[in-house]
Structure 1
Amino acid sequence: MLFSQRVMGPVVGLPKVWLFILGVGLFVQLSGLLFNSDGSRYATQTYLLLFVPTLILLLWRRFALDIWRQAPGVLLLCLQAWVLLTGSVNAGSSHGPAYWLKIDVLILLYVFAVASLVRHERAFTWLLFAGVAMASVFAWLTLYYQFGVLDKPLEYKVLRYAGRLREMGWRGLGDLNHPIIAGLYYGFFAVLLTYLLVGLKVRAWQAALLAVAMLGLLAYVLLTFSRGAWFSTAAGGFVLLLLFPNIKSRSLIGAGCLAVVVAAYLFWPEIQHEQKVGVSGRHLIWDNWAAHLPEFWLMGAGAGADLFFKFPDSTWSVIHAHSLYLQLWYEYGIVGISLFVLLLLSLLHKGWVCRTQPLARVGLALLVFAMVAMVSDVYTIFHRLSPYWVLVWFPIGILLGVRPAGKRNRFTGAAK
């Protein structure tokens, strides 16, 4: 069997039809970025297959108060209320209150859908498997098309400055618009695949297939030359391996350390060049943020406000802080960033308390992945559908959904 008996045990709680609906909707949201070449089609599919059914489920469950009564749930609602308030009263906000209310509601529905499916481990694990399979197929197709069909040279200088992976290159499929986004997106699935490999009982041939899939995902992440994606994937994967102490995880840690040593020996000139590149001018952007701190530190510049910076002696300019933590502080002030940090800390605490549950460990690893990525790459999360929803709101939904041992199922009364 692909999954262990623990995962394949009986499912309680939501009817099977709802598990199927949520699973399909979340799969489209997770993977639709790859198989849709049109953003509006992706949005339409997600609205119809995920948001509308989830709204019906939320109303049927009488707003699922058990999810929001916990500390992370309360902090999330407070953060969303502050976003709405800032978007309504701060003159610097990019949109009016109706827009921010819509974004808040969609995020609420999304994390509720993830949290609801998490409470049915078998169904959620099949969702993870389907998402990882789709991402792995597209990673290998991209590598084949870019280097086999388009015959792109595998040379560091060419790839680093003119050939960083971000799309398949065929009919708009698998187009993630930017190498950084692409690296983070595929790195997210590499962490999930690590869970399937070390957290579940798999046969030798299944482990081999997972290893081939992992090779494709990691190769794609590497060739985006997004160092934020590299570090995020390494951090998330390492945490996951530590949380699943078994012979497979220890073997992967050893193999990973050996691979790093070999890579450092073989590619030392390239590593030195990456070191010289540094943070790619981000320190100047962060200095600009600090210079304007007295202007926005308390109430923020407004929801969705741009932080404009033009590089000296250059025509290149940016409109955000290149760090989600700094950008949230810029937009929502000290209250907004404080609520966000408290939300992350509460989720880390809950994940640790529930660490005996496999999906809590997955949520912890993905949250660490996101927290590292948010240092230098993620620029917004209160925004229309984007890959950043997968990186940030998905692990938040997982950790909202897991429950400490001894909690009882409100549908059946059975201990979870």
Structure 2
Amino acid sequence: MNSAGGYISQTYIWCLFPGLISFFIDLHRNGLAASIRGMTAGEKLIALMLLWIQVHPLLVSEGIDIGTVFNRVIKIAAYLYVVRTVVIHCKRPERLLLLAAGVATFFAAFTLIYQFGVLDRPLGVRALGIDGYRVDKLGLGNFTEGLSNPILAALYYGSFATILCGYMAVKPFYWQRRMPMIIAIVMLGVFILLTGSRGPLIAFVAMAGMSLLLCRYTWKWKAIFLLSVMAAISLIWLHDDILLQIDRVLADGFNCRFPIWEQAVNAISQKPVIGYGAFSDFKATCAGVTFEHPHNMMVNLLYHWGLPALAFYIAILGYILLTMKQLKPSSVRTIAIVLMVFGFVGMLTDTYSFLVRPNLQWLLYFLPISLYSGEYRKQLMATE
């Protein structure tokens, strides 16, 4: 399908529309007051954040109108409800995630084979200063044409590597059973490396570290010690190369991120509490290029919706981290946590607007919090 709008329409028809019908049925059965009382603290935080975004146009003169904001907010709310409901009522919801990860791995592998094998693109590892082709889309017909940016491609495929890591962390480890997943994770990790995207690569490492911390293997502390020793040896061995890469990163302002953030913070300082409004104009210049978004989710929230939006954003993530020990270890719980870590770190250096139609932000932020919300409610219902 050679149309981003076509993909979005499919999401509305097959995901959000049935979700809205289910929501109104539940609302009719339980009543509004009972539904609100049944919400967890995390769900109430999410609701308050969306409510703030909804009423925000009444407080600012810039940005899109309140009707357009409602159109976006209701779709995000429907998506959160659908994922939450699937987790609650599906016996093994992680199987759906694993299926999606399997499909994504196939396309990642196919892309690497086609780009570097068939088209014979030059290999390069930007993280080590080796220039080469930065892979993103497949480049064959209209498949994966939406991934027309190496950073977005790295974040997209990295989220599926995260799902696999989260699943492996909570399940018993048997080499023969887990080998296909290990190969898939390595394949997706190589894809991220060959995109030349440093932010997603850091997010991938952070996610892998969190997965290792959450895993239930008896040998995990030995693995952490061994990896720490290997990292220390690598730092010593590649000392000069690492310093050279740090100098290169600082010389271009982390690929213009530092100048963009500086200009964004200067603008935010004039309206720190309220912000400028959803989709209000943002302009930052660096190296003769004009950038139209801050390339950082927290800065994005501050610029467009002010301090309350950022406070809710951090509070929701903090709530997950503070309550995760209250839940029994499960695949969905662990996947949600590591996906949240990957998304948070990944969106520190590149992201678009928070209030978007079905897009990467749904995968990196709304999916993990709705997965966690559903699992929290599911385990709570099991104890009642």
TM-score w.r.t. structure 2 length?
Answer: 0.87
CA distance change for structure 1 residues 304 and 347 in 2, over 3 Å: closer, same or farther?
farther
In the other structure, the counterpart of 1:283 is 258
1:369 aligns with 2:342: yes
The partner residue of 1:152 within 121, 124, 145 is 121
In the other structure, the counterpart of 1:28 is none
Deviation per residue, 1:196-255 (Å, 9 max, x gap):
333234754332211211121000011112121111111122112211220475576467
In the other structure, the counterpart of 2:289 is 316
Task: Give me the CA root mean square deviation.
Answer: 2.8
Deviation per residue, 1:363-404 (Å, 9 max, x gap):
222212222123222232211111121011000101211227
In the other structure, the counterpart of 1:38 is 3
1:234 aligns with 2:205: yes
The partner residue of 2:165 within 173, 194, 210 is 194
Q: Which moved more, 1:355-364 or 1:262-271?
A: 262-271
Q: Aligned partner of 1:281: which letter?
A: C
Query: Could you tell me the percent identity over the aligned residues?
Result: 23
Contact 1:90 1:303 in 2 (8 A): no
Q: Aligned partner of 1:128: which letter?
A: L
Q: CA deviation at 1:162?
A: 5.9
Mapped partners of 1:342, 1:211: distance in 2: 33
In the other structure, the counterpart of 1:163 is 133
Contact 1:350 1:399 in 2 (8 A): no
Mapped partners of 1:77, 1:351: distance in 2: 20
Q: Aligned partner of 2:100: which letter?
A: G
1:305 aligns with 2:280: yes
The partner residue of 1:54 within 12, 19, 27 is 19
Where 2:294 maps in the other structure, the secondary structure is coil
Q: CA deviation at 1:262?
A: 7.4
Mapped partners of 2:74, 2:85: distance in 1: 16
Q: Aligned partner of 1:141: which letter?
A: F
Contact 1:92 1:305 in 2 (8 A): yes
Q: Which moved more, 1:76-85 or 1:239-248?
A: 239-248
Mapped partners of 1:55, 1:79: distance in 2: 20
CA distance change for structure 1 residues 127 and 159 in 2, over 3 Å: closer, same or farther?
farther
Contact 2:87 2:371 in 1 (8 A): yes
Contact 2:268 2:302 in 1 (8 A): no
Deviation per residue, 1:156-201 (Å, 9 max, x gap):
4799666212111111312312111111111111111112333234
In the other structure, the counterpart of 1:23 is none
TM-score w.r.t. structure 1 length?
Answer: 0.81
In the other structure, the counterpart of 1:244 is 215
Q: Aligned partner of 2:361: which letter?
A: Y
1:97 aligns with 2:72: no
For structure 1, the residue ranges without an aligned partner over 5 or more in a row are 1-35, 410-414
For structure 2, the residue ranges without an aligned partner over 5 or more in a row are none
Q: How many residues of Structure 1 are paired with residues of Structure 2 in the alignment?
A: 373
Q: CA deviation at 1:320?
A: 1.7
Mapped partners of 2:381, 2:107: distance in 1: 40
Within 5 A, what are the aligned runs for 1:99-248?
99-120=68-89, 122-156=91-125, 163-175=133-145, 176-201=147-172, 204-247=175-218
In the other structure, the counterpart of 2:317 is 344
The partner residue of 1:360 within 300, 309, 333 is 333
